[in-house]
Structure 1
């Protein structure tokens, strides 16, 4: 009875701050230890996208939504890089631990489901924010793009990293092998990010495709960051905020539930 009462008190009345911090620190150290792959690589990729589009299209492309094409493109690339890195951080951590058989080292300590989710998401959020900051510095100093609404941009970057970090947890819990994880990345995550208005305004799409795009939460993430950076967007930022909050709440809740029940995690 005393043990059960203590466990109930720890679970409902206390937070294992040390354990949660340790997990978050471990997740951050993971990507910092190989920063050339996890941080420098995505930044180089984003720079190559900008260079290729600039050389291939040039100034002849004309304005998009009233701004030069490169100015329109940069915020979308920033957000696409953030969400891909947040997803990769959480998904790779869990799926590698499952394949190697050491996921039990994370599940055995006295961490609740909420603490596990928070620890993993902290690592994905940290990686996404570092990448976002680096790209934002380049946009401001090299491309001369200012921040029209910096608070909006920050809110959507945080939401994007949290949403995709949680989606990465879900994908990694579901996947038991690297090829399953690769399939989820290639057939779900990449299409969601590329077909979400990163490289174009959805006003250029047929009405049917515009309707489909509005069901994609990543569209609102990219559109929200674009509004925060250059002050223009395809939809209302308030609508995007509501959709992103709802979508993030759903995926985070599913992460919590799967950790709580041990779904596809127990050996």
Structure 2
């Protein structure tokens, strides 16, 4: 009984410490809500106008959604949440490490390394939700399907996607030595994933070799899951996407906690 009580107290302490770290970032985020929401909206809007309304008008009806515009809208939500969750988290940690030099103070705080990672990850999740919320509003205006984009299953996948890429952003932010290095990660990881992560196409139509590569990307499971949550009945929902994203988020959290434990700067 005493062991269970101690374990429960440890988890409560971990949660409280994580929220404390998150709150320090939230104090900055709350005064920039409009800026953050708009920062990741430009690219999805360009893709929606160019591909959804432009190219999409000449394409046949897709397997999911009434037209190609509807098909790519869930992918645009996934794309915006990935970009801002990763980029915002990475640049925030880089700024503290490389410019303000305030990161050393954070490392001296006597709390568990996992709480440090989770707190930073929560801030990244909020950043991603702010931007993807703006894209969801655009999707609702284009389609008129309110419940398709705000149902619990859709929102759960969105939060998991933000957790995955904000967790990745924490790890990258702890390891890079300059802002130029952040650009390399963005060019070689985020941008390719933006186009290969099933945001613009149905991965089941690809040749097997390419399909294997696409299904190695976590964004793929978010895109196909959001599309199914928005337009398909529950019987056709790819339930495997939820545990896959959850496992990736947990693995990144453990890796991030290990990184925090050994961080020197």
Band the TM-score falls in, shorter-chain normalisation: 0.7 to 0.9
Superposed, 1:77-226 pairs within 5 Å as 77-100=76-99, 101-148=101-148, 150-226=151-227
Post-superposition offset of 1:229? 1.3
**Counterparts of 2:182 and 2:213, CA distance in 1:** 25
Asked if the contact 2:77/2:132 (under 8 Å) is kept, the reply is: yes
2:95 corresponds to 1:73:
no
Asked if the contact 1:159/1:248 (under 8 Å) is kept, the reply is: yes
Asked if the contact 1:125/1:161 (under 8 Å) is kept, the reply is: yes
Say if 1:245 and 1:22 are closer, same or farther in 2 by CA, change over 3 A.
closer
**Counterparts of 2:11 and 2:162, CA distance in 1:** 28
**Counterparts of 2:11 and 2:69, CA distance in 1:** 51
Structure 2 unpaired stretches of 5+: 1-5
Classify the secondary structure of the residue corresponding to 1:238. coil
Query: Which deviates the most, 139-148 or 247-256?
Result: 139-148
Could you say what the CA RMSD is over the residues aligned between the two structures, in angstroms? 2.6
Aligned to 1:260: 261
Structure 1 unpaired stretches of 5+: 1-7
Post-superposition offset of 1:19? 5.1
Query: Which deviates the most, 122-131 or 142-151?
Result: 142-151
Aligned to 1:26: 24
Asked if the contact 1:28/1:127 (under 8 Å) is kept, the reply is: no
Classify the secondary structure of the residue corresponding to 2:170. helix
2:44 corresponds to 1:41:
no
Classify the secondary structure of the residue corresponding to 2:198. coil
Asked if the contact 1:197/1:222 (under 8 Å) is kept, the reply is: yes
**Counterparts of 2:142 and 2:82, CA distance in 1:** 23
Query: Which deviates the most, 223-232 or 189-198?
Result: 223-232
**Counterparts of 1:196 and 1:181, CA distance in 2:** 20
TM-score by length of 2: 0.86
Classify the secondary structure of the residue corresponding to 1:64. coil
Asked if the contact 1:148/1:227 (under 8 Å) is kept, the reply is: no
Aligned to 1:3: none
**Counterparts of 2:12 and 2:29, CA distance in 1:** 29
Aligned to 1:59: 57
Query: Which deviates the most, 223-232 or 27-36?
Result: 27-36
